[in-house]
Amino acid sequence: MKYVKNDKAYALVIVLLLVVLILGISATFMSGTLSNAKQEKTVDISNQSVAAAEMGILYYSTDFERSLDLIKQQVLNQTRLELDKIVACLYATNKEACDTSAERKAWEQKIDLQMKQLYVNKVLTKVNELIKINGTQTMPFTSTSTNYAPQKWNLLNVTHTASDLENISSILVDKIIHNGKLEVKVEVKGAAVSSTKTLNSLFTVNIPDSFLNKGEVYNVGQEIIAGKEDAKYVDIFKSVPPTLSCDALLEKVKANTAIAPFECKMTGDEKLATFIAKVTAAQKNPMDFWVHVDDFQKNVCSSNCNSIDFLGTNVVVKATDTGVSSNMNNLVNGNLIINGTLTTGQNMNNLGKNMSKQTIVLKELYIGGNIKNLYYTNLMVLGNDSGNDARLHVVGQFQIDNYTHLCMDIDKIRQSDLDRLASTIEVTNSGRIIYYSFTGKTFSLTGVDAANRTALYVKKAANYGEFINNCGIAIKSTQTVPISSPVVIDTDFDFEVDY
């Protein structure tokens, strides 16, 4: 018998088995790939929620720090205003609240505590504002569902009730001051799709030991003028200059036959330093004397004009005396009265650089350059005998700084000069503008933040006598009382994030 052999069926079976095997392996790989993709998506969403929480922490920490900077400036400005009240007391006729060192010290301590309380109160007000937005979601990207929201704000370093914080009780404020710092914890939840992540951040604000600088390096006192209460323009710019020699005047003063203010004429080769030495030897006060000189360089300077100490003497010179404008930077502790207009094309910089108080009195002022770095100086522009067109013009920059007063009778000064001054003058630190007006005119700074700068730096004198006294002209005598200066607050802000 003959058998027929055919292998085609085996081949078909093998092919089918291979197809099944390949499909099985492919399914396994596809399943793994889909699983990995799902895991990566889950991780990515989780990372997005962490990133969202981090963005929330960064946003609230930046906002908190910016708010602290604003609070710092507000408290510093208020400190200056409170210290001005001590100065006003010292200028007042009735000094019952400030006539002793103990009274002034107690007043300063009271201001210091009030400023600490104000600072803590404002910081807690900011914390309460943040508490009110708990749960409020912020979406940093409009194209995604990612968001962050603060969940809880807590004070950590002081025991308190919710009412204490909400109403900012004085007990809570005093606890924070006693501890010397404020610690605030915030929880921020970040969300992305169905994933959430909460991060904790701790904000620390240190409370300054003091808002008053007890160790001011310059250590310059506030001048207190005790003299003629009803001083007038003619008391400064005499219509008829004296003819009595200074030596003859001193003899009358020693004999108690001279009537204050003590005025004399210095001529020829007489020297101011020699006369001041005679005054101090006679145990008299140089501040009581008004010395009119013919030649500033000859009568006031010695071999040079460097750092001449007037010991408070009032020196009256002619406006035409060219030796004055070129030597103003060398005045020390004196009053220089220029009987006319000071006009110079040069800069008038660095007055008061020796940290001794000085006063310069003019009828008019026209500076072709700059007035910069004006320290410890009273610069007075009183105008002419009549009219309202006196010049007060500085072509370049006009800057007044620490312990400096620009004093002006605005009734007698050209209005266009006043308008330009209001928009260009730079007043910083303890600098002040003091003005007087009999007609009721006012002077205000213009430009950026004009209202606040005017409140801080511009003062109107109630009467001419107060105006003269507050601007450093001593018709009879001057006393010096040290006053503490406000110190810039160091917020010392820090934060840390807990993952």
- CA 112: distance to chain centroid? 17
pLDDT at 434: 95
On whether the CB atoms of residues 431 and 401 are closer than 8 A, the answer is yes
Query: Is 411 in contact with 437 (CB distance < 8 Å)?
Result: yes
- Say what the pLDDT of residue 65 is: 85
Q: Which amino acid is at 178?
A: H
Q: Where are the domains of the chain?
A: 44-215+489-498, 222-486
Structure tokens of 363? 């009828």
pLDDT of residue 220: 32
Other residues' Cβ atoms within 10 Å of the Cβ of residue 382? 25
What are the CA-CA distances from residue 106 to residues 98, 173, 204 (Å)? Answer: 9, 21, 31
| Sheet-wide strand order for 364-367 | 341-344, 364-367, 392-394
- State whether the Cα torsion 67-69-73-78 is positive or negative: positive
Which position has the token pair 């910016």? 66
Residue spans of the chain under pLDDT 70: 1-10, 24, 26-46, 91, 93-95, 143, 213-230, 303-307, 325-332, 350, 352-355, 474-499
Per the listing, tokens 């003497």 go with 313
Residues 6+ away with beta carbon under 8 Å from 300: 271, 272, 293, 308, 315
pTM above 0.75, yes or no: no
Alpha carbons 270 and 260: distance in angstroms, whole number? 22
- What residues does 205 pair with on adjacent strands? 182, 493
186 vs 441: CA distance, rounded Å = 53
Give the model's pLDDT for residue 78: 87
Give the list of residues 6+ apart from residue 172 with CB closer than 8 angstroms, or none: 124, 158, 160, 164, 165
Distance (Å, whole) CA 369 – CA 276: 34
Cis peptide bond N-terminal to 150, omega within 30: no
